[in-house]
Amino acid sequence: MKLGSLKPVDDRKIIERVLKGDTDAFNLLLRRWEKPIYNFIVRMIGDRDEAMDLCQDAFMKAYRELDTLKDLDRFSSWLYRIAHNTCFSKLRKDHGKIFVELQPETRASRMPIESRLAVETALQHLPEDQREVVVLKVFQSLKFEEIAAIQDAPVSTVKSRLYMAFEKLRAILG
């Protein structure tokens, strides 16, 4: 059954349920955040299968460490921070490799292949910190302050990473 159609429930309420022992409620958080986290990781790593595994690892870690989350209303930033750590430890391990692997799409989504391929290739040519700012800002619509917390950097640094990234992307994408 696809649970994605579930009415959005307050993250805080779900987390409280999980912390009280209703572990199955964690799957509600999964349904809600799986797609954004997966897409964040795909764009960071450039490999869809690998991204799926890393996404699962990130959620596993989030589940194990849920009781360390101090502000329940900041769950999403905390989750992105975990996904960030997961991505960066993978990127450090694969230092030097560039994944831009894109299988042919189904007919329904054929139209955007070219642009998607171009964008993903372009993203992979950015330094990891800049790439992450672009992904979190443009695709995940996070606030600059949230990105600063995830990257553990000042907002001014985050913004200059974005400007530098955009300069490079403009050169690559034309």
Partner 1 sequence: MSHITEKLAEFIFEELPPPEMAEARRHVAECAYCREQLARFEQTLAMLKAAPDLEPPRDIVFEFDKPVMTRLWRWFPAVAALAAILLVTIALAGRVHIQWRDSQVTIAFGQNIPAVDPNQAALTAEIQRLQGHLAYLEDRQQRVESDTMATVSQIQLLARGQRTPPGD
Kindly list the residues in this chain that would bind partner 1 in the complex (CB under 8 A). 2-3, 23-24, 26-27, 30-31, 34-36, 38-39, 42, 48-49, 52, 55-56, 59-60, 63, 109, 112, 115-116, 118-120, 134, 137-139, 143-144, 159, 162-163, 166, 169-170, 173
Rounded to a whole number of angstroms, the minimum distance from the CB of residue 126 to partner 1 is 11
Q: How far is the CB of 129 from partner 1 (least distance, A)?
A: 15
The minimum distance between CB 72 and partner 1, in angstroms, equals: 19
Of 30 and 72, CB closest to partner 1: 30
Nearer to partner 1, 92 or 161 (CB): 161
Q: Which two tokens stand for residue 61?
A: 């870690």
Q: How far is the CB of 81 from partner 1 (least distance, A)?
A: 19
Nearer to partner 1, 96 or 104 (CB): 104
Let me know: does 169 contact 102? Beta carbons within 8 Å. Answer: no
The angle subtended at Cα 40 by Cα 132 and Cα 171, nearest 5°, is: 45
